[in-house]
Homo-oligomer: A and B are copies of this chain.
Amino acid sequence: MKLPEAKTQFINNWGAMGTQWGINRTMAQIHALLLVSNTALTQDDIMEQLNISRGNVNMNTRDLVDWGLINRVIIQGERKEHFTAEKDIWKVAAHIIRERKKRELDPMIKLLAQLENIDGDKKEKETRQFLEMIGTIKKLGQKAGKLLDVLVKAEENKFTSAVMKALK
């Protein structure tokens, strides 16, 4: 396999993987494209390489910037704005973890805490069972959250060492 084909493969598979994780295909592809590109790319470059519309590029680059996964960069003398991906994969992973935790895990835990406040006879079996289920899920969520915090708070290459510790 030649380099360009390998890049395409990577981009497409990254896109497919994305969909399985609730990330839209194009967004994942743009991210992948920028990851394996050595130069900063413009909207037009991305449109051309992935065969997608300007609006699509614009929306998804905006989201990726929001997620902190790519950056707008200004290039001396160039009028158009360019994009680059954060190339440090460990940082990328940390970003994604931090964001998804904040947007999804934390609110879920909050909800579970609310559900623990039902008014009802705690002597009743059904109530007890429900509260136990909710409580256990909340505990699991909190534990997972802490684990993610550790992974993420550790600086750059400490990411590795945090993981390595867990493997001992």
Contact = CB atoms under 8 A, between A and B. Distances in A.
A145 to B, nearest CB: 10
Contacts of A19: 22
A59 interface: no
A147 B165 contact: no
Contacts of A162: 166
Contacts of A89: 133, 136-137, 140
Contacts of A7: 130
Interface stretch (A48-56, A76-84, A116-124): A116-124
A3 to B, nearest CB: 5
Nearest to A125: B38
A35 interface: yes
A16 B36 CA distance: 33
Nearest to A111: B13
Interface residues of A, number: 52
A10 B166 contact: no
Residue among A6, A17, A20, A168 with the highest chain B CB neighbour number at 10 A:
A6
Contact of A111 (B9, B21, B117, B130): B9
Nearest to A165: B166
B93 A140 contact: yes
Interface of A: 1-3, 6-7, 9-10, 13, 17, 19-22, 35-36, 38, 87, 89-90, 93, 104, 108, 111, 114-115, 117-120, 125-127, 129-130, 133-134, 136-137, 140, 143-144, 146-147, 150, 160, 162-168
The 3 A-B pairs of least Cβ separation, nearest first, read A166-B166, A22-B22, A6-B118
